[in-house]
Structure formats: structure tokens, C-alpha cells
Structure 1
């Protein structure tokens, strides 16, 4: 029996497996691909590792460092292993069933760290109708074609969504000589980090805010897309136009990949789409921990790796004590202009990093936790940028009941 089975070989899973091994646990890392790193190997742009490694790296460089550490520690890794199910036989025994080219296997473990990442929204999920033609890709699919296989998906591009992945793909297409004709954003503000929004200005790419693509037309391949303006309530105004293109890229956000967790009875937070967790990143099923984009959609891979380490520390405590011994959990609740947050329950036994996103952009604000008297001033908050705030053990201890996090104007 293993102490911990890590499901997912992206940055969260690798960081979790490394930390668990360093803590003396018997670890197995499972990943469905024949290479480790998740999406990092196809992210050839810089901007990774600034917090985690204290230097700027590309995605492949970030993944390589974690892979080398796995080798140094001799962590057992099984690739081409697709997990089919998780069985929770008891708090101290779980069974993970996976299939690989060698067959179907069951492995017994005391704990699980679930780091299976997220999936992309596709065209039908965001209401795009029309002809079923070639030339429609998610941003991740296009990135894989270009950066893993060296294939250009098209020459005249329209991108739906101004999140970081969509903006990075706009630059990637422009650098390869394609014409990015527009980035279409439903909201009245861009969805990406400031440094990525600058890409549009650098490459003179039009950005249409408060617009959406509603229809695709073509014979065999995309020929044009219909764009409609929306009002402040995101309702169509009737103002519309067509853009000719041969490729439509969908970058409409990510959804935590939690199907297996739902099947085993893990409670899901509708706001994050990921599990409800305590400050050890343990889910509602004892001994199952979660990290990375399977927990909450992060904007920085550094936070993903950090969460992997936190989950490993939780697994270590669970194995040593045959469970998490906290007797009193303090609920962390969403208040004004807080769209989502994690973790959801605090013990008051340790310092905790809170990961949160706001609902709308604001300037000159205070992040407040009224019940414990904590207040942090910030010049600006944006839905695209994760708020990462530390609550000290002594601060949490002041709470008599639940703690509310809110973002309010100064």
C-alpha cells in the first residue's frame, strides 16, 4: 500500500509528489500522458517560475526542473496511466483503478492527491452555432498543434476570449506570420493579466469588449463569424457585424476536471467548480486532497505548484495521525465583490494562504476580514488576477465564528 497516490503529472502533481517524497512518504505518481508537465511543455513563452523558483522561465524549463527533482528523489512515476475510478473503502484505505498499455490495475493507498487540472470550454458551451466546419479550435488545441507538433492551424484568426491563454495565442499567431483579425471579449473589461493585455497593443490587434461570437459560417472550413454587441447585462443589443477568417480560436475559460471526485462523493463549490477544502487542501472525503486547477483556476503556475506542496503536507499529517485531527473548523465565506475563494475551512492551527478572485475590477480598495480585524489596501483588483493573501494563525484565532472576506472601496 502507498502512503499517497498523486493523480496528474502537471506542475501541481509533480510538486506534490516531490514534497511528499521529501517528507518521507511512499509515493506513486500517475499521469495519462507519456510525458510529464501537463500543459507546460507547450507553453514555450516566458513568465513562469518568478515566485516558485525566483527566476523567469519558460513552461518547458519549469517542467524540466520538477522532472529532474523527481528523478533525484527516485519517485515512482507511471505514464500512459488513465485513472478510471477512485474507491473510498475507508478513511485509511482508497483504491485507484487505472488503465495503461499493460492492462488494468488497482493500487491501494492511504491518501490521494488529486491534481488532474482543468478542461477548456468549447464552442457549444458558449452558445456559438452555425456550420460544422474545420478551423475551430480551443486555445489549448491550437497551442498543442503549434508548439508540440509544429503545425499552423490557420492564417486569418479570430480569438474568442481575452484571458491569458487567448492573449498569449494571439502573440504566438502574430509571431508566426498569421493575421489576428480580432480578439472578442464578452465582458466590458479584458480578462488577462496586464502584461498579456499589452500584447494586443504591441501587435496592433483589435480588441472588441462587450461583444460575443454567435455564429460560424463556411463550406468545409470557417469562412466568417458573426459578432454581436452586448449591453451591461450581457444581452444582445442587435448591433452585429461579420469578420472573415479561416480559423476561430475559443479561449473562453477553464473548468476544473473533477468528474472522478464527484463520483466518489466529494462536495463541489459551485463558485470555483472545484472541491470544498480545508486549509490542508483536504476535500470532504477524508484522505483525498486536491491541488492546482482541479481546485481553483489559477493565473500563475507558481501558485499551482505551491498548492501541490500544501496538499503533500496535508497528506503527511493524515498518514502520521490517521486523519486530520482538527476539532474546530472555521468557515471562510465570500463577501462583497468576492467571486470565489479557497480554502473554505480554516483550523486556526497554522498560517494559511487564501486564493481568491473578485467579481469586478475596482481601484483603491481594501480587502477586509471584519470578524478578525484584518485589512489590506490594494491599488487595483481585477477578475483576471488571483488575490493571494496570508492569514496568520494568531489572526484566525480571533474568530468567534465564520470569517468573511470582502473587497470594498476605500
Structure 2
């Protein structure tokens, strides 16, 4: 069995992983990036909208262009970066510190690394309802992949379930592609995404039905419609079901951090609702309770891609520093300042509440405690 070795293994080639790899490689460390997709960039390559945030995080630039910026940065220090796409890290074995990896469906090999940055992103949440297995029921990420990566429209008329940023943005992208949005239903009493996104689709005549959710998908072989219903304060269905004519049902009800590798590495984990699931405790360097493992991006808590890039920078900088590579004094504080600026709004307050639960000052204090 072939075993590859590297100083720093970055698991995930999205916004956080690419930023981490670029930062560590620029410091002089040898970095290996393992990405399960066929190409690098993660969710960025699907994002055609312009980013908010700050100039440092490419505000005003479309997501797929940010992916190209990060890839160009990787290319500038390519002698220090080894990239493996179509490669899934299938497990970590603490007995000998070995990762198992699968390239495609045939090539199986091992990886050993001195430090590991887990930037595995997130998984889409789904909700149960009758006939949710019919063709025509999509997660929002799948719809974005079809349209923005492959140039394929999934259907003609969509019911969007979820009024967070993803649901609102994908609704607008569907309309840009000529797909009619019948309605957006949201179980909560308010829109969860930025109002600017909601305002764009409302101006185009799309109803956003708060305290509503899907009750049932309709169809024999494919989706031909859906029933929706109002919800009470306890999220229980009330009133009569309403029929919506559609051939697509798009589910955009949130994400959950992908953290299995961190659990396998023995990192101390916590379920934090504000961070949308089970995440690893970490210090200001993004180091977990396992001193050889760092976390960044959605794997550390669901947040905007801008914050994921900064967390990746912190993790890459810190991992390289731990290996003895010289890093610029004060850079860690600079990155934390940028994170705090990104988290200054209403949505950021929720993130900060979650971080209070998982951030530790020093791992020595936790161990002694």
C-alpha cells in the first residue's frame, strides 16, 4: 500500500482550504491538498453573486472569481503545494497517525502528515415529507452545481423551501436562468437571509411565505406539484393545505458542519446551535485539543465564505508556525481583527455567541482543569 507524506495536509479545497494552503505554503511549508471534487474551489465556483464583507475578503467580487484569485495564489508557490483532486479522505487512524484516501473509485492509498487542517466544509440539511425521493427534489447546492457549473436548468417552475441567504440567492439565480419561482416558504417568522437578497426577489414578484413549509410533494414518476401549509408557533401544520404548481422543489434549510475526521482524531467536540452543529473546540490559532489538528471554515461552524477564508489563513499560518517556519509578527492579530469586522452585524452576533462556547485560551488550562 502506497503511503504519501507531507508536512501539512489540508483536507478540503474550498474557500478555507485554499486559503490555508496558500498561507502555509507562502511561509515555506510543504502542503498537500486533498479535495473530493473533480476541481478545486468548493462552493466558490458555484457562486455568481458578488460578495459582501471587506476589501481584504474581495467584497464586490463574484465567488467564482475569488476561487480563481486563490488558485492563482496557490500557483505562485506551487513548488510547495501538492494537489490531489477527486480524492476523498476516508478515515484517520490514531494508532499510527495514518489517513486513508481514495482517488476516484479504484486507487486506495495512505497519507501521513505532521499537521492537518480540516476544512471539509458542510453538508446540506434535508427535511422529511411524503414523496421527497421523487426526481425533481433538489438540495440548493445541487441546483447551483447544475446551473452555475454545468449550465443546466433543473426545470421550469420551482418551489423554494427556506428563506436564508442560500435560498434567496439561489432563487434569484434561478430567475436569472429563466426559471420561474412560484414561492419561497420559510418556517420561521422572519426571513433568515440578508434583506437585500429578499428584496431583489420580492421586487420580481416572488411571494415569501413566512411560517409556512412544504407538506407533501406531488407526482408519480417526477415532481408535478407540492402542497404547502401554514405553521403555528410550535411549527405544527395549521389550516388548509395549498397546492403549488411546480416541477422542482429546492430545499435550502441550512447546513451542518462536516466533522467526522475531527472526531476520529479525538478532538474535543461540542454541539453548538449557533454554529449549526457538532464542532471542535479550538484556540485562537484554530488548533484543536489534538495539537496536530486545526479546523477552519464551515467545518468549524457555518458562516459566510469571507470568514472561512480568514479562518483558513489563521490555520495555515499557525500550522506552519508550529513546524518552525517563520511567520510575520502580528499577522494573527490582524486576521482576528478582520474576523471581528466580518462578525460585527446581526448575524455575526449569533456566531460570536457560539464561539464563546468553543474558544479556549490555552489548551494547557483545559487539560489541567
Identify the TM-score tier after normalising by the shorter chain. 0.7 to 0.9
Q: Distance in 2 between matches of 1:131 and 1:18?
A: 41
For residues 219-241 of structure 1, what are the alpha-carbon distances to aligned partners after superposition, in whole Å with 9 as ceiling and x for unaligned? 21212212121122323224432
For residues 230-275 of structure 1, what are the alpha-carbon distances to aligned partners after superposition, in whole Å with 9 as ceiling and x for unaligned? 1223232244322121110000101111122223322322113222
Match of 2:149 in 1: 148
Task: Work out which of the residue numbers 88, 94, 103 in structure 2 matches 1:88.
Answer: 94
Q: Distance in 1 between matches of 2:297 and 2:184?
A: 27
Pairwise CA distance, 1:8: 0.5
Task: Work out which of the residue numbers 23, 26, 33 in structure 1 matches 2:27.
Answer: 23
Match of 2:103 in 1: 100
Would the alpha carbon gap of residues 230 and 354 (structure 1) be closer, same or farther in structure 2, given more than 3 Å must change? Answer: farther
Q: Distance in 2 between matches of 1:384 and 1:281?
A: 19
For residues 353-381 of structure 1, what are the alpha-carbon distances to aligned partners after superposition, in whole Å with 9 as ceiling and x for unaligned? 6979xxxxxxxxxx9xxxxxxxxxx8x72
Alignment of 1:225 with 2:229, yes or no, is no
For the residue of structure 1 that corresponds to 2:234, the secondary structure is coil
Q: Distance in 2 between matches of 1:285 and 1:227?
A: 46
Match of 2:125 in 1: 121
Q: Distance in 1 between matches of 2:26 and 2:156?
A: 48
- The 8 Å contact of residues 212 and 231 in structure 2, kept in 1 or not, is answered as yes
Alignment of 1:111 with 2:115, yes or no, is yes
Alignment of 1:248 with 2:249, yes or no, is yes
Pairwise CA distance, 1:292: 0.4
For the residue of structure 1 that corresponds to 2:68, the secondary structure is helix
For the residue of structure 2 that corresponds to 1:158, the secondary structure is strand
**Which structure: greater helix fraction?**
2
Q: TM-score normalized by structure 2?
A: 0.83
For residues 324-344 of structure 1, what are the alpha-carbon distances to aligned partners after superposition, in whole Å with 9 as ceiling and x for unaligned? xxxxxxxxxxxxxxxxxxxxx
C-alpha RMSD of the superposition: 3.0
Alignment of 1:280 with 2:285, yes or no, is yes
Match of 1:335 in 2: none
Match of 2:9 in 1: 5
For the residue of structure 2 that corresponds to 1:152, the secondary structure is coil
For the residue of structure 2 that corresponds to 1:270, the secondary structure is strand
For the residue of structure 2 that corresponds to 1:281, the secondary structure is coil
Q: How many residues align?
A: 340
Would the alpha carbon gap of residues 54 and 135 (structure 1) be closer, same or farther in structure 2, given more than 3 Å must change? Answer: closer
- The 8 Å contact of residues 113 and 288 in structure 1, kept in 2 or not, is answered as yes
- The 8 Å contact of residues 202 and 208 in structure 2, kept in 1 or not, is answered as no
Pairwise CA distance, 1:161: 0.2
Q: Distance in 1 between matches of 2:119 and 2:37?
A: 14
Q: Distance in 2 between matches of 1:54 and 1:221?
A: 41
Task: Work out which of the residue numbers 298, 303, 308 in structure 2 matches 1:298.
Answer: 303
Pairwise CA distance, 1:168: 1.0
Structure 1: tracts of 5 or more residues without a match: 322-348, 357-366, 368-377, 403-410
For residues 147-175 of structure 1, what are the alpha-carbon distances to aligned partners after superposition, in whole Å with 9 as ceiling and x for unaligned? 11121111111000011111111111212
Deviates more, 1:204-213 or 1:103-112: 103-112
Structure 2: tracts of 5 or more residues without a match: 326-331
For the residue of structure 2 that corresponds to 1:153, the secondary structure is coil
Match of 2:74 in 1: 70
Q: Distance in 2 between matches of 1:54 and 1:150?
A: 25
Task: Work out which of the residue numbers 28, 40, 45 in structure 2 matches 1:36.
Answer: 40
- The 8 Å contact of residues 297 and 308 in structure 2, kept in 1 or not, is answered as yes
- The 8 Å contact of residues 166 and 251 in structure 1, kept in 2 or not, is answered as yes
For the residue of structure 1 that corresponds to 2:223, the secondary structure is strand
Match of 2:269 in 1: 268
